Structure 1
């Protein structure tokens, strides 16, 4: 059985402003400082806003929380099976939001990985299931403690703060992608052949990272749009927040649209840089190919000139009669050598006139 972390269950109350932790759900319930509203009557608005977070939950943990809060089996199944589709669903006593987040333990690797984050919002509290490497819970709790008006805290506000922090967590990766895209764009036209070959893996890695970020953000727009429409509906569900939260959700939508448009722009820059880099390599390879063909053509002309001379010398190297072999002196030798040299000079001159050399 998988060993449990020291404090995977954490409970936050707006009245105490403190966090109680426990390795098990039963241990959390046994704590005198924890007053979880396990019945439906206790979960009605009463002034105290509570928040239960389950970190890296196992199937047993999900089932225990589901039994305690009377969570719908479909929600339990989604959390247990780590449903990847981002969505917002309505149930009788709560609404359920599924989001994909970037986990912090993958930042050092350069390309962040994603995980599932689940939010269940009741009338006066929230239950969240956070994955390993998630930092959003601690950030939102710190943000709650800094609220100037504690009266504005509600379960819906906790949901908004989590969504806002999740969307804002893409900002550092977007800035890093921006700097990398600009650096690649500047190096494309001044890079040498060896440098251009090194740029291609960088471009591929950056495009993969940007595509992954866009994929993680693309589903959130539909979830927020559906969330806002249901909040605006005249016959909206009783568990949905009042209109005051729409202003905050609109701010999250603005951040999301800005981040998506910036990532799309950076993807276009990287795509253009990749095309320019490949075009630069193609032009360089074409020039090298033309130079090689030019050299090979000259070598071929010289080989054509020297082939007859090799034929003659090879013929005389065999057991055949050589002209003038019975004559004393070097007249025949220099005569034959002069004819061969004259033949070579003539054809070199003709090749030069025909611009073959």
Structure 2
């Protein structure tokens, strides 16, 4: 499936809020990870059946993490069980959704993408993650299981951590911070490889170097397409007056997240400009090599043109050619040819043409 734009033909003609999965199936069986926590208590469970999942309890801090979005029947049951607006669920199931923050009557909704570099395919792959902040409850949706949130889970199990003290908006921040940190690691890793290209381009600009330049430019362009809307998302989170975001306790953290996103975007744009410069250097070096080759060929042509003229003259079939009957004509001919060629080479060398 295309990365830059995912076709929505599956939900063509359907009313808004229809639960239609748009994307690639990544898990066989969807699961619900349930965590209930406060400063003193912590419990976690995993469920395969929606009817076994505990309902929202306004007296508890809860985190529901749903993994696997392609099962439309399962997602319909989740929507009903956790009382999520159909338009938000439609965005959850559309994995080509642009990053955004949106306020509903009884919850705040956010969606963005994780990024990871697939070294085998030499391309950046994405996973959409959505957040529903609802009272004392956080609901997250992932396309597939992964280790990006493991550090947050570890902190959540620690009774002394801030996550245990603060509400679901801070937990949402911690999870988004893990995603954005992954952006930074991705850019840093690609940046090191881009820096390594410089020597190769200057010393031996081959076809492989050109392919790498174009590959990294394409992937950085894709990263910027994904990350730029996240800055708009963080700006909206900072400006929001939503009751589901405790600005007194979490505003500073969301501002820090916004600064990190700005750093990611600026770094990606800088490396893309570096690659553009590398491309110009590559073409300049290739042109210089071609000019050197053409110079050598031109020198040989300049030497052999007069020699060919002499050979052509004495190769004609006239009956009377006085020089041909001279005893040393052959040696004189070669002497003239060698002297002429040597003289031209000496002249070109003095001029610094090779």
Could you tell me how far 1:159 is from its partner in structure 2? 1.1
Could you tell me how far 1:300 is from its partner in structure 2? 2.6
Which residue in 2 is equivalent to 1:21? 46
Which residue in 2 is equivalent to 1:178? 191
Report the Cα distance in structure 1 between the residues aligned to 2:169 and 2:298, rounded to whole angstroms.
72
Task: Provide structure 1 residue ranges, at least 5 long, that are not aligned to the other structure.
Answer: 30-34, 231-235, 316-321, 325-331
Task: List per-residue Cα deviations over 1:253-307 (Å, max 9, x = no partner).
Answer: 1211222222222222222222212211111111111111221232232222111
Written as runs of structure 1 = structure 2, the 5 A alignment for 1:158-197 is 158-189=171-202, 191-192=203-204, 195-197=205-207
Task: Provide structure 2 residue ranges, at least 5 long, that are not aligned to the other structure.
Answer: 1-24, 349-354
Q: 1:87 aligns with which of 82, 97, 100?
A: 100
- The answer to whether the aligner puts 1:122 opposite 2:134 as a matched pair is yes
Q: 1:228 aligns with which of 235, 238, 253?
A: 238
Could you tell me how far 1:149 is from its partner in structure 2? 4.6
Tell me if structure 2 keeps the 8 A contact 1:14–1:50: yes
Which residue in 2 is equivalent to 1:310? 315
Report the Cα distance in structure 2 between the residues aligned to 1:209 and 1:7, rounded to whole angstroms.
30
Report the Cα distance in structure 2 between the residues aligned to 1:177 and 1:11, rounded to whole angstroms.
36
- The answer to whether the aligner puts 1:36 opposite 2:59 as a matched pair is no
Report the Cα distance in structure 2 between the residues aligned to 1:24 and 1:186, rounded to whole angstroms.
56
Number of corresponding residues: 319
Q: 2:218 aligns with which of 208, 212, 223?
A: 208
Report the Cα distance in structure 1 between the residues aligned to 2:133 and 2:275, rounded to whole angstroms.
40
Report the TM-score, using the length of structure 1 for normalisation.
0.78
Instruction: Quote the RMSD (CA, aligned, Å).
Output: 3.1
Written as runs of structure 1 = structure 2, the 5 A alignment for 1:141-160 is 141-146=153-158, 147-149=160-162, 152-160=165-173
Written as runs of structure 1 = structure 2, the 5 A alignment for 1:1-357 is 5=28, 8-15=31-38, 16-26=41-51, 28-29=52-53, 35-37=54-56, 42=57, 44=58, 46=59, 48-57=60-69, 58-103=71-116, 106=118, 109-146=121-158, 147-149=160-162, 152-189=165-202, 191-192=203-204, 195-230=205-240, 236-312=241-317, 335=325
Give 3-state SS (helix, strand or coil) of 1:10's partner. Answer: strand
Tell me if structure 2 keeps the 8 A contact 1:53–1:129: yes
- Which is further off, 64-73 or 77-86? 77-86
Q: 1:264 to 1:142 in 2, by over 3 A?
A: same
Give 3-state SS (helix, strand or coil) of 2:91's partner. Answer: helix
Could you tell me how far 1:95 is from its partner in structure 2? 0.9
Could you tell me how far 1:185 is from its partner in structure 2? 2.0
Report the Cα distance in structure 2 between the residues aligned to 1:108 and 1:14, rounded to whole angstroms.
40
Could you tell me how far 1:228 is from its partner in structure 2? 0.8
Q: Which structure has the larger Rg over C-alpha atoms?
A: 1
Q: 1:107 to 1:349 in 2, by over 3 A?
A: closer
